[in-house]
Amino acid sequence: MGDNPKGVPMLFWILAAALAAAIAALMILALWRGGDAAVEPGNAQDLGVYRDQLKGVEADLARGVIAPDEAERLRLEISRRLLEADRALRGSDIAGRAPKSASVAVAAVLVAVLAAAFALYARIGAPGYPDLPLQGRLADAEAAYDARPSQAEAEAAAAARRGAASAPDPQFVALMERLRAAVAERPDDPLGHELLARNEAILGNYHAAWTTQEKLIALKGEAATVADYMTLAEMMIGATGGIITPEIEALLADVVANDPGNGTALFYLGMMMAQLDRPDRTFAIWSSLLAKGPESAPWIAPIRRSIDDLAWLAGVRDYVAPAPVLLGPSEAEIAAAAALAPEAREAALRAPVEALMAQMAVVGGTAEEWARLIAALAALGEGERAAMIWTEAQQVFADRPDELARVSSAAAGAGLPGGVAAPRGPTAGDIANAAALSPDEQAAFIESMVARLGDRLAAEGGSAAEWAQLIRALGTLGRTDEARARWTAAQAAFAGKPDDLATIRAAAAAAGVAE
């Protein structure tokens, strides 16, 4: 940033105060004067005219120009108009002056607002902050790039921010001591170094982790892989608390040089540009990663959360993030393939299933992709493989219940033990089929699905999610009375189950039949 002359803050406050005072004075004056001058002069002039007319009538009567009866009629008419004008003048005077007490209140509020604005700006604003033209910002970014802390400096700062770590499990500490001793006794053992580096990182000892990983790479020599170097870089990033130091940047650059499409390295390079206040460069890197996918790659979720803001900061006003692209056959495609002969079903599903499994073996997958894989394998008659995938998914999504529910629904649909079916309603296959119908046919199709769901709930009951689905659908269709009746029935069915009732109440509120 450029120099900030000493007098700039005081000059700013003087100009801001003068402008605010001038604007406030004009507004107060306008409120104070109100309607005084707007109505009074016209009415006062009318009074003068009517008085002159009365004098004229008397003069004409005295000269014999008009008869006494005519003079009396004119007197009455002019007097009536004189009284009306006088009444209007008094009314306008009251109207013009009555709001002055309110004007005082408005003026006080105006002064209070201005004072609050100045106080707020003084607290959170930046008085005296100089303008930042593009070239200045680029120069600042370049200076920040050159002034980045070293790895050692960044680690020391990160350690100070983190403070004392919580005590680990004593048994794990004892095992780590044994592992460290074993590696010290066998300094040429790559497997020992790999295990030690990984577990030091788990403990949060990132410096020890990356120095051990560095020794592992040295032991491997030319056999060290891009993944080994990427692991080293991530451990170093963990040690700095996310700051990309020159040492880490050099390591990431080497990874990209050997593997130009390495998404993890490119993600961190984009993050470095964001740290240097270069959102334009971050956007260029991250938008490319987002477009390439796959959706299950670990860097996609954080990029999706930030990409719209990055586009705005980068000056790209018309950017639209690409829609998620998932591998594997969709629910509608699986349903369609299930109706085919075995040979045709194999031809339709085998290639996308194998592609999905290959991707998931490398970068994992989303809950939807796990669900697709289980359903597709079941449709191919490979129940054992589907069961193995379901068992693995329960471990992968153990701490993500919402995502596990999606996979569990697919497992239930495949007839696997432990799966929990999703609320029964229109499936993706139903929706795909409805999309091919005419508008009238679509309406009838939706009505029939809602009717089937309503009949089943009335006869068999159902989950809170199903009741909510029905009430929401009825509200969307404009059948408010029926939605209200279903809401009443649900309150009786789920009495004593506040959590379930809260789910249904939300749907009823959306349908306009509950508070």
- 100: pLDDT strictly greater than 80: no
pLDDT at 334: 84
| The CATH number, out of the four listed (3.30.56.10, 1.25.40.10, 3.20.20.80, 1.20.1600.10), of the domain defined by the range 180-313 | 1.25.40.10
pLDDT tens, position by position, 395-453 = 888 888 888 888 888 888 888 876 555 544 444 445 444 444 455 555 565 666 677 77
Please name the amino acid found at residue 399.
Answer: D
Range 375-403 average pLDDT? 86
Helices 263-275/246-258 angle, 10° precision: 150
Residue spans of the domains in the chain: they are 8-123, 180-313, 331-413, 434-510
CB 333 within 8 Å of CB 348? yes
What's the rounded Cα separation, in Å, for the pair 123 and 477?
52
pLDDT at 485: 84
Burial 404-425 (b: 16+ CB within 10 A, else e): bebbbbbbbbbebeebeebeeb
Q: Which of 84-98, 266-280, 389-403, 500-514 has the highest mean pLDDT?
A: 266-280
Please name the amino acid found at residue 366.
Answer: T
pLDDT above 90 covers what percent of the chain? 23
pLDDT at 9: 57
Which two tokens mark 112?
């209070």
Confidence of residue 467 (pLDDT cuts 50, 70, 90): confident
Confidence of residue 3 (pLDDT cuts 50, 70, 90): very low
pLDDT at 427: 47
Which two tokens mark 2?
């450029």
For 483, other C-beta atoms within 10 Å of its C-beta total 25
Q: Burial, 198: exposed, middle or buried (Cβ in 10 Å; 0-12, 13-18, 19+)?
A: middle
pLDDT tens, position by position, 284-310 = 999 999 998 777 788 888 898 889 999
CB 503 within 8 Å of CB 491? no
Residue-averaged pLDDT of the chain = 79
The residue among 463 and 228 whose pLDDT is bigger is: 228
Confidence of residue 477 (pLDDT cuts 50, 70, 90): confident
pLDDT at 211: 96
pLDDT tens, position by position, 126-149 = 666 655 555 666 777 788 888 899
pLDDT at 259: 94
The residue among 142 and 82 whose pLDDT is bigger is: 142
pLDDT at 129: 61
CA dihedral (368, 348, 291, 389) in degrees, to 10, reads 30
pLDDT at 7: 46
The residue among 44 and 400 whose pLDDT is bigger is: 400
